[in-house]
Amino acid sequence: MGKRLCIPKYRLGRIMGWLQIILGGLVIIISIASLYKFYKAGFFLHNEEICQHFYGVNDAYEVFDVRALSDRIGEVLDKMEKLQEKLEQTDVLDKTNITKLEYKKFLEQEVIKPLHTANLALRQIRLPRIVNATIEEDPLINTFIVEEIRKYITPKETRNAKINIYGMEKVYNTIGHACVSMKKEFEEYMEYDIGSYCKDDWNLAQKLMLSGCDPLPRRRCLARASKLYQKPYPINESLWRLPDDRNVRWSNYQCRNFKCLAGKNPKRGFSKCTGCFEIENEKLKWVTNSSLPAVFLIKDVLAIKPGEIRIGLDIGVGTGTFAARMREMNVTIISTALNLGAPFNEMIALRGLVPLYWTLNQRLPFFDNTMDLIHTTGFMDGWIDLLLMDFILFDWDRVLRPGGLLWIDRFFCKRNDLDDYMYMFLQFRYKKHKWVISPKSKDEVYFSALLEKSPRAV
């Protein structure tokens, strides 16, 4: 055992005293620098023109978030104040057995790093530029401190100062407004080393999406993938075969292979889509007769519009079985999916189908009147708020073409709520091809329908 190096108390006290003096000076410098930046921006001018714009006569400051600016200044000063309080509490270091290594670690973690963060936060504060009484700044820029977020949301001007292909002078990258209310999680998501591997944080990304922070920004890090990735099975095999376990990263799941997901294990990590990894049972869906009147067969649905159903969208929780069956009928179906406890997106893709990583609170990324078919099952049922459902259905109506089919597949709800949901579906005045209500339990009912969107006068 080597001899431990100790720092005398008087020397430690002197060092702490100098640190407090230096920190106090930095607080003063930061305060003066902040006031100077305000002065340079024109906030302390009292001529009539500046005051009119500041107090909103012409709404010139609508695009600049003054509150975010104030919060950022306050955040910097708060960091400095906490750091000073920490240094004043010398009890932590007032021991004779502290080593040089421990003292160095203390300075790095508790002094230098917070000081650097506060300095960085101050340098990144952007004040509005007053040019011809016009504010040229963006409202969210002072809300975030992580540089990747700030770079992402800053409008990108065209390199040749001309109108771009979209007819605009700048390109504006989008983030959901809910990202502001989830600032801590959002900054954690966007804090990474450029060009390195992304963190194993898809769970965090999905949490942000489900909370309304969507669409998420692009990132300049490399997506992680399985080191043992194998060549996918040929399409004639992949549709009805469990994929190779080595093609999925299992770190965030309770199950560690597809056999576990396909088994009867009640602790698989997901509750929806029971049995959807059991391929032999999945083969029976939508192709074999069922005792349940609310179950429609694919051949009967396609017979209503022979040759007209070519592309569509499946909205639900599953492994792509509906899309697999429709592919055998030469119909291309995009399957929406979230990884709710299992690798649903990976499973759909490995079957040779198209997964769309999408949430109910997101606008569908398709243009108006483009889909021949929208099919929904197992996801949107009686738990959904009526107002939210109204927004969703209007978006479905937007992308469904005239003559296209809306297939409501075993929607279920409480009997007492049935009339409310029926109004939601009936408000669009679609033509009814199939309409079935059947009991699910004592208090719940199934509802299935096949509805055709009618042409509309322009």
What's residue 51's pLDDT?
41
* Predicted confidence (pLDDT) per residue in 157-186, tens digit: 877 777 877 687 888 788 888 898 899 999
Higher-confidence residue of 62 and 77: namely 77
What's residue 207's pLDDT?
92
**What H or E segment, with its residue span, contains residue 113?**
helix 113-123
Scanning the structure block, which residue is given the tokens 């949301």?
153
At 444, is the secondary structure helix, strand, or coil? strand
- Global pTM reads 0.71
Q: What does the CA dihedral 414, 420, 424, 428 come to, rounded to 10 degrees?
A: 130
Whether the predicted pLDDT of 455 surpasses 70: yes
What's residue 50's pLDDT?
40
Q: Quick one: pLDDT band at residue 447, thresholds 50, 70, 90? A: very high
Alpha helices in 257-412, H assignment, sequence order: 258-262, 279-282, 298-304, 321-328, 344-350, 386-399
At 96, is the secondary structure helix, strand, or coil? coil
Mean pLDDT of the chain: 81
Q: Which residues pair with 449 in a beta bridge?
A: 408, 435
C-alpha to C-alpha distance for 417 and 386, rounded to whole angstroms:
10
Higher-confidence residue of 128 and 80: namely 80
Mean pLDDT (whole number) for 416-422: 91
The size of the chain, in residues, is 458
What's residue 110's pLDDT?
73
Higher-confidence residue of 303 and 73: namely 303
Whether the predicted pLDDT of 353 surpasses 70: yes
344 burial type by CB count under 10 A (0-12 exposed, 13-18 middle, 19+ buried) = buried
What's residue 273's pLDDT?
81
Task: Tell me how many degrees the CA angle 437-385-207 measures, rounded to the nearest 5.
Answer: 120
Q: Quick one: pLDDT band at residue 292, thresholds 50, 70, 90? A: confident
* Predicted confidence (pLDDT) per residue in 68-126, tens digit: 566 666 767 777 777 777 666 655 555 556 676 777 777 777 777 777 666 666 665 55
Whether the predicted pLDDT of 17 surpasses 80: no
Strands (E) in 97-192, as ranges, are 130-131, 134-135, 156-157, 170-171
Give phi and psi for 406, each to the nearest 5: -105, 115
The answer for 330, left when phi > 0, alpha when psi is -120 to 50, beta otherwise, is: left
Mean pLDDT (whole number) for 306-329: 96
Whether the predicted pLDDT of 132 surpasses 50: no
Distances in whole angstroms, Cα of residue 20 to Cα of each of 26, 86, 111, 137, 456: 10, 10, 11, 37, 74
